[in-house]
Structure 1
Amino acid sequence: MDDHTRKKKRLDWITLIVSGGLLVLFVIASILNEKLVGQWISESFFFAAKYFGAYWQVLLLVMFVIGLILAFSNYGRVRLGKMEKPENSNFRWIAMILCTLLASGGVFWAAAGPMFHFLTTPPLFTGIEEGTMVASFPAMAQSYLHWGFTAWASLGTLATIVLMYAHYHKGYPLKPRTFLYPMFGKRIFKNSFIGSSADIVSIIATAAGTIGPIGFLGLQVGYGLEAVWGIPNTFITQSLIIIFLAVIASISAATGIERGIQWLSRVNVSLVVVLMFAMLILGPTLFIIDLFIGSEAFYLQNFLTMSLYRVDQAWLGSWTIFFWGWFIGYGPMMAIFISRISRGRTIRELIIAVSIIAPIVSNFWFTVVGGSGIFYEMENPGSVSTALNESGMPATVMAIMNQIPFGIVLAIGFIIVSIIFVATTADSMSYTVAVTLSGTDEPSRLIRVFWALMFGVVAVSLLAIGEETVDMLQNFIVVTAAPVSLLLLPSLWDAPRIAKKMAKEQNIIGKK
């Protein structure tokens, strides 16, 4: 048995048992006393939002700025992953990046987020009358902030540079604890309490952030199936949807990154492009284009103020801090995933793809979907907002589709895209958990399939307890984001230092 095979088979059983055990414990505790668990998570959520909120806002902003400085300096030419040419084409690579973060949020938040901010103007812009054309620009800009430059920068830029150097150049495991290698040295890999804690909390955060959207998807697609085909939106329907999704994710996991995730991502991005242009052509075309240009200008003009807004704490906890916590919780695992698919890329390509191209694409998608909703709401007040207020986010998408020609076809397209989005996320996150447990970028397929199925089983279990438990688990990622954000902090100075070191090694800058 060669060294690579031994590495591949060596599982971190402590991390597996503790992280898996805590998930099972959460389900059991929810069954025994759902109210008490909900109260504990709610209090922890508010604690994290109150005491870590300002830190998260500064962390993400600084991470984005340092990334840009690296990308557009000489260090941007540094090639990562000990490979001369990229493994994946540009389209495949960006498709995988886009599909992993957007998940169900890319569909349902795209419809509901702008509408929420249009109906109730964000506190920073309270002077603007809500529900008017003028209010549509800050509404879209606020959604851009929550799914834009700084959000994406937290998901695989500076941390990815640190991780790719430590793993591909130094030979250390592809694990969250490796972010701490520049600070602690080799000690972090030797039965380290801090190292194990870093791995465990990252797995739990990822599980919470993945199981939440899976359960949420069951509720949303269930609503969509009832709206389109009249299929009763019951627990059985929702469970079958989740099981179907878990099976897709498992099959994709079993076929490996080179086939499964790549194929799902390409199919989904192609479908999204078709849906986007269909809505653009069939819907209010000129309004959407004007809204995108005007909202991008508004977003860039108010970018710093919006990023560091600290007045209305309750609103921040429900919106900006919630999203920042969600994305930070995903941060370590997304860095692992992006490290795996980005070998042969330069720092400049990495930063531009993740921090600039992906946010602009998602901003335009939000404008097409959410902007259409705003247009129809202004034309006919209540046509979209009534559905949002009475039945939530899934109803918002369907209400918008009802206004557009061939809306039923587009609604079916949205249901398909939502399922593939979340399946891709479940697959990629099961991959990163398996990588964390094995320390190699080629983990056992059995472990990947196990985690993909476990995500689905826990989601069904939580739905069986009650819909509120899905929201509880989703909120829990914000709690876990507190320690995870400390794990990402050293990358602010380690990434530039490593970039400089590699630039010398690759003769990009002179050696002194």
Structure 2
Amino acid sequence: MSSSSTTLPLQNVTGFQRLGDPVVLALTMGFILLFVGWSLTDAEGLAAAIGGGFSWTAKYLGSFFQLLLLLTFFISLGVAFSRAGTARLGGLSSPEISTFRWLSMILCTLLAGGGVFFAAGEPVYHFVVSPPAFTAEAGTAEAVAPAMAQSFMHWGFLAWAVLGSLTALVLAHAHYVQGKPLQPRTLLYPVLGERVMTGWFGGLVDALCVIAVVAGTVGPIGFLATQMSFGLHQLFGIADEFSTQLVILALLAGVYMTSAVSGIHRGIQILSRFNVILALAIAAVIFVFGPTLFLTNTYLSSMGEYLSSFFAMATITADTAPDWWMKWWTVFFFAWFIGYTPLMSIFVARISRGRSIRETILAVAVLAPVATSIWFTLLGGSGIYHQLAGTFDLTEALNSFSFDVATLTVAEALPGGTIMAAAILLLTTIFVATTGDSMSYAIATVGAGHDEPHYLVRAFWGGAMAVMAGILLYMGAGQIGVLQQFIVLTAIPVSLIILPSLWTGPKAALAMARSQGLSD
């Protein structure tokens, strides 16, 4: 089938279809109503139930999650450097989106607010509480490289590869070559055939993936509101209360809903480009006017430690590390990324049309992690520098997981002080907004089954996530934390949905190469 006929034509899509799959809508909205309703009626019972499931999943499935990410990364590299790597997604001879815009959208969407939120605090945490894979004494100069390396592991090659490599290939082949919709159920099409594309099971698959993304996105939206409220109070004396958080949520939702409604080629691109430019400006100021030599040496030694201790960190389990550490760090992060994978892959497949398989995989699984490691070194490395120098002591704040305090404290110690702290808060806000707009678009695409979901559906999902965050914040930030734990549970079904991509991804790459006359 030619590429010109692969995308479902809008004139053949009914108005009802453009508003979304009723199964996906019913199950997803049912989850939102159930979670909020249970929170309102029995918050302690909900927390206990999810906490129990969280602990069980981390203990018994954590190793499976780790193995899934490891296999995805190395298989995707094998595909990238194979002869099939020269095939182009969508069959176009040139990309639809320029390289800078494309990379901006990938970095901003996949890194998101979590990367900024954790970039300052996580390396300092691992510096004051030594990761189990290392023996260096916490708080000493010898602990710097291991602390950064552990952060690189959580936000590095494995995390990025699972988000948009093999699964994106499966979706791109099915969509652009076979004419299948950009929906999570399409990931199972090579295994189950047409039966997964129609009926209740396909709707269930889509709904489970949407629920994982809703849970994974509402958390950062809610935490951003608390972080911004705290930051505005510390910097400008604005009251740190629910009404302030509500105003922040409303403004944030307005930004990313407007961006999502305008589509990939306008609002989402513009927001991503602005964010990358702002991040580059902040990075330049930190590097030039901050502890330049310390940051340079830290990056080199930490990257070396990351590569040399890669498998030790990637394969550590609850048998050789404290149970609490595994479930709140490695397993939590890996499960979070797994939950995002289907919809992130939809986004990557959509924006990468015309790109080669090789450049898509290398951009997502190699270039983006390297950029992330540099960003973590600039923020987290600066935090460690000041922790070592005695400028501040974040031990107590980080032991209680108060990352909003840690982020602002580190930001204020950066060159520029209050101005830099305000810039970091703005950057975090736009990062979360880029996730909100891209995920609103992706969720709407899942429901509609084509590339141009109704603008009201995009706006609806953006608004629904903001409203859910607002309700949970009204009950207390602890409920956002409960939702964060629920992310790990959502990774269970999603991990099974993306598991076949370990072999269907390479097959899809080979099929695209053959159809383009690039492989025997």
Is this a same-fold pair by TM over 0.5?
A: yes
- The reply to whether residue 63 of structure 1 matches residue 68 of structure 2 is no
Q: 2-side partners of 1:381 and 1:406: how far apart?
A: 15
Counterparts of 1:226-237 in structure 2, within 5 Å, are 226-237=233-244
Would the alpha carbon gap of residues 8 and 138 (structure 1) be closer, same or farther in structure 2, given more than 3 Å must change?
farther
Q: Find 1:113's aligned residue among 104, 112, 122.
A: 122
Map 1:129-208 to 2 at 5 A. 129-193=137-201, 195-208=202-215
* Match 1:4 to one of 7, 10, 27: 10
2:232 aligned with 1:225: yes
Deviations 1:247-290 (A, max 9, x none): 10111112111111100000001000101111112211110010
Q: How does 1:448-463 map to 2 (within 5 A)?
A: 448-463=458-473
* Residues 387 and 399, structure 1, Cα contact 8 Å, conserved in 2: no
Change (3 A) 1:238 1:275: same
Question: Which of residues 101, 104, 108 in structure 1 aligns to 2:110?
Answer: 101
- Farther off after superposition, 138-147 or 415-424: 415-424
Return the match for 1:395 from 397, 405, 416: 405
1: CA distance between counterparts of 2:158 and 2:174? 24
Alignment partner, residue 413 of structure 1 = 423
What code does the residue aligned with 2:29 have? G
TM-score by length of 1: 0.97
Match of 2:38? 29
Task: Encode CA deviations 1:188-242: one digit per residue, 9 max, x unaligned.
Answer: 112142x222101101000000001000000001111011101111011011101
2:86 maps to a residue whose letter is R
For the pair 1:478 / 2:488, whether they are aligned, the reply is yes
Task: Give the Cα–Cα distance (whole angstroms) in 2 for the partners of residues 257 and 408 of structure 1.
Answer: 34
| Alpha-carbon distance between aligned partners in 2 of 1:375 and 1:261, rounded to the nearest angstrom | 35
Contact kept in structure 2, 1:45 and 1:475, CA below 8 Å: yes
Cα distance in structure 2, aligned partners of 1:18 and 1:483: 15
Please list the CA deviations of residues 20-43 of structure 1 after superposition, one character each: whole Å capped at 9, or x if unmatched: 121111101100010001111111
**2:375 matches 1:365:** yes
Q: Is the 8 A contact 2:257 2:458 kept in 1?
A: yes
Which residue identity is paired with 2:13? K
Instruction: Report the counterpart of residue 260 of structure 1 in structure 2.
Output: 267
Cα distance between partner residues in 1 of 2:241 and 2:184: 39
Helix, strand or coil: the match of 2:96? coil
Q: Does structure 1 retain, via aligned residues, the 8 Å contact 2:412–2:420?
A: no
2:89 match: secondary structure: coil
Letter in 2 for 1:335: S
Do structure 1's residue 437 and structure 2's residue 447 form an aligned pair?
yes
Tell me which residue corresponds to 2:3.
Answer: none
Q: Distance between the aligned counterparts of 1:403 and 1:331, measured in 2?
A: 35
Q: Is the 8 A contact 2:227 2:404 kept in 1?
A: yes
- What CA distance in whole angstroms lies between the structure 1 residues aligned with 2:395 and 2:285? 23
Which residue number corresponds to residue 41 of structure 1? 50
Distance in 2 (CA, whole Å) between partners of 1:363 and 1:8 is 46
Contact residue 23 and residue 204 of structure 2 kept, 8 A? no
Alpha carbons 1:8, 1:438 under 8 Å: kept: no
Q: CA deviation at 1:108?
A: 1.8
The one-letter code sitting in structure 1 at the alignment partner of 2:263 is G
Cα offset for 1:403?
2.6
What is aligned with 2:5? none
* Cα RMSD, aligned residues only: 1.4
Residue 212 of structure 1, aligned match among 214, 219, 231:
219
- Secondary structure (helix, strand or coil) at the match of 1:507 reads coil
What displacement does 1:3 show? 5.3
Instruction: Return the offset for 1:406.
Output: 1.6
Among 67, 77, 81, the residue aligned to 2:90: 81
Once residues 270 and 389 of structure 1 are traced to their aligned partners in structure 2, the CA distance between those partners, rounded to angstroms, is 33
Distance 1:502 1:384, change over 3 A: same
Q: Describe the SS at the equivalent of 1:411.
A: helix
* Residue in 1 that maps onto 2:4: none
Q: Give the AA of the match of 1:173.
A: P
Tell me the secondary structure at the aligned position of residue 402 of structure 1.
Answer: helix
Q: How far apart, CA to CA, are the structure 1 residues paired with 2:9 and 2:313?
A: 51
Segments of structure 1 that go 5 or more residues without pairing to the other structure are none
Q: Residue 91 of structure 2 aligns to which amino acid in structure 1?
A: K
**Offset of residue 364 of structure 1:** 0.3
Quick one: structure 1 residues 136 and 415, their matched pair in 2 at CA, closer, same or farther if it must change by over 3 Å?
same
CA–CA distance in 1 between the matches of 2:500 and 2:413?
49
State the 4+ residue runs in structure 1 displaced beyond 6 angstroms: none
Is this contact kept in 2: 1:8–1:442, CA < 8 A?
no
> What's the CA shift for 1:383?
3.6
| Contact 1:8-1:444 at 8 Å conserved across structures | no
Note closer, same or farther for the CA distance 1:438–1:123 as it changes in structure 2 (3 Å cut).
same
CA distance in 2, matches of 1:239, 1:101: 25
Paired residues for 1:319-330 under 5 Å: 319-330=329-340
Supply the distance in 2 between the matched residues of 1:281 and 1:456 (Cα, whole angstroms): 38
2-structure distance, mates of 1:455, 1:278 = 34
> How many angstroms does 1:385 deviate by?
3.5
Distance in structure 2 (CA, Å) of the matches to 1:495 and 1:277 = 38
Q: How is 1:270-419 mapped onto 2 (pairs within 5 angstroms)?
A: 270-310=277-317, 311-312=320-321, 313-380=323-390, 382-389=392-399, 392-419=402-429
Deviations along 1:323-353, one digit per CA (max 9) or x if unpaired, are 0000000000000111110100111011110
Q: In structure 2, the residue corresponding to 1:452 is in which secondary structure?
A: helix
* Distance of 1:192 and 1:421 partners within structure 2: 35
1:22 & 1:143 partners in 2: Cα distance?
Answer: 32
Secondary structure at the aligned position of 2:518 is classed as coil
Write the letter of the residue equivalent to 1:5.
Q
C-alpha distance in structure 2 between counterparts of 1:349 and 1:143, whole Å: 25
Instruction: Please give the alpha-carbon distance, in whole angstroms, between the structure 1 residues aligned to 2:475 and 2:90.
Output: 45
Where do 5+ consecutive residues of structure 2 fail to align?
1-7
1:5-58 deviations in Å (ceiling 9; x for gaps): 332631311210111121111101100010001111111111221221111101
The structural deviation recorded for 1:107 is 1.4
- Determine if the alignment matches structure 1 residue 508 to structure 2 residue 518: yes
**1:387–1:49 distance in 2 versus 1, CA, 3 Å:** closer
* Greater Cα shift, 183-192 or 353-362: 183-192
Q: Does the CA-based 8 Å contact 2:23-2:207 persist in structure 1?
A: no
| Distance in 2 separating the partners of 1:381 and 1:372 | 11
